[in-house]
Amino acid sequence: MGRFHRHDDGTVHEHEHEHEHDDKHGDHSAYETGPERIMVLERIFDENDRAAENNRSQLDAHAVVGVNLMSSPGAGKTALLERTLAHFDGRRRVGVVEGDIETSIDADRLAGYGAQISLLNTGDGFGGECHLDAPMVAKALVDLDLAALDLLLVENVGNLVCPAEFEVGTHVSAMVYAITEGEEKPLKYPVMFRSVDVVLVNKMDLLPHLDFDMALFEANLARVNPKAKVIRVSARTGEGVDAWFAWLEAQSACT
Amino acid sequence: MHELSLCNAIREVVGRAAAGRPVDTVHLRVGKFRQVVPETLCYCWELVTATSPLAGSTLAIDHVDISLRCAACTAETTPQGPLALVCTTCGSGDVSILTGEEFLVTSLELKES
């Protein structure tokens, strides 16, 4: 329990009391001043979320559908993006925000499919940021001609923890999950799995070589996100990717 | 590293609120759903504030348990174990999260001058 007062600059402070409140309790003017306390009550993601909202407004102004694509490293996001860009080349105008810690290797792989690509190297932090945040994506949007786009795919940094915490300002979120990652990851990373609208279960061509139990994976996923749509694909062979393209088309139709 | 990103975000909030005044303790409210390891968060706080006016300040974390409301049986429960988002009364997975997602800076204690 403390005592609040407002300063001229608008901040509100609370001073700790050094006595109990159950006794009679007269004039407060003589209370003992302990360390000064500033009440803040600010959500740590507020600033990011405001930037995300601003990104989404920019996309809306140009009728662009934004998709945040997340996964662990090596699950096949870039391979899937290659197929996606090849499919939509000439049909839909696609832009890509490519988040990568240090290199342009992924952006180079995606060149040549007629898409606008904006590379975001996130290597400025301590050893590289492990996710994209909304202010970073805002910078990437500056490099894109949004008026000439229908669809924006944001390839997040490969990581199952941080990207789930930082909204980037897309309309929907998708996740690429490789069956080589095992069945239990939805339970270990519930924040990530809860944050997505669709899970692309990738590397299905490897199924005969693995002990992967698809029913168990889907049951685990349903425990943390019963609403997530599951699409089984192989980015390598192209198996199942038409359902992913159809899902993307459906998102465009919704907005 | 997750906690490092979070500390950078915390530093922004604290720097704005402190407005140059010397900070002793930063009080946080963190839901258990945030997957924050307290020791790691405190260590990262030292790293990200080391060369700033916030150097020497510490984090005090108030943890908030996860509580769920079940859409099927309307029970409000706290799951045992961090993973299962399942009603512990009837076993339904159709639950909404009441608490456990908090992540805020609640207050700052200033250094006595």
User: Which of the pair, A47 or B11, is modelled with greater confidence?
Assistant: B11
Instruction: Quick: pLDDT tens for B15-32.
Output: 999 999 999 999 999 998
Burial A194-222 (b: 16+ CB within 10 A, else e): bbbbbbbbbbbbeeeeeebeeeebbebbe
Dihedral angle over CA of A111, A117, A123, A124, nearest 10: 150
Which CATH number does A46-254 carry? 3.40.50.300
Is residue A3 over pLDDT 70?
Answer: no
- Residue with the bigger pLDDT between A107 and A33: it is A107
Whether the per-residue pLDDT at A6 is higher than 70: the answer is: no
User: What distance in Å separates the CA atoms of residue B1 and residue B103, rounded to the nearest whole number?
Assistant: 17
A56: nearest Cα among A143, A161, A119, A138: A138
Q: What is the pLDDT of residue B83?
A: 60
| Chain B residues close to A14, C-beta within 8 Å | 107
At A30 the pLDDT is 44
What's the pLDDT band for A254 if we cut at 50, 70, 90? Answer: low
Q: How far is A103 from chain B (nearest CA, A)?
A: 19
CB contact under 8 A, A38 and B34: no
ipTM confidence: 0.83
Domain positions in chain A are 2-38, 46-254
pLDDT-based confidence at residue A35 (cuts at 50, 70, 90)? confident
Strand pairing class (A94-100; A12-16):
unpaired
Q: Is a pLDDT exceeding 90 seen at residue B79?
A: no
Number of Cβ within a 10 Å radius of residue B91: 11
CA-nearest residue to A219 within chain B is: B93
Residues in chain B whose Cβ is within 8 Å of chain A: 1-2, 4-6, 8-10, 12-14, 17-19, 21, 24, 28, 33-35, 47-48, 83-86, 93-94, 103-112
Whether residue A163 contacts residue A132, with contact meaning beta carbons closer than 8 Å, is answered with: yes
Going across the sheet that includes B76-77, the strands are: B76-77, B67-70, B95-99
Of A53-62, A121-130, A148-157, where does mean pLDDT reach its minimum? A121-130
| Whether residue B109 has pLDDT greater than 70 | yes
Is residue A126 over pLDDT 70? no
More confident residue, A27 or A139: A139
Contact yes or no for B5 and A45 at CB 8 A? no
Give residue B82's pLDDT. 54
Q: β-strands B67-70, B95-99: how paired?
A: antiparallel
The answer to whether A100 faces chain B, any CB pair under 8 Å, is: no
Share of chain A above pLDDT 90, in %: 63
Query: Which CATH number describes the domain made up of B2-110?
Result: 3.30.2320.80
Higher pLDDT, A141 or A25: A141
For residue B61, pLDDT beyond 50: yes
Question: Which chain A residues contact residue B103 at CB under 8 A?
Answer: 43-45
Q: Note the pTM of the prediction, 2 decimals.
A: 0.82
In angstroms, the CA A117 to CA A42 distance is 35
Residue A187 contacts B, CB cutoff 8 Å: yes
Rounded mean pLDDT, A117-140:
80
Domain range annotation of chain B:
2-110
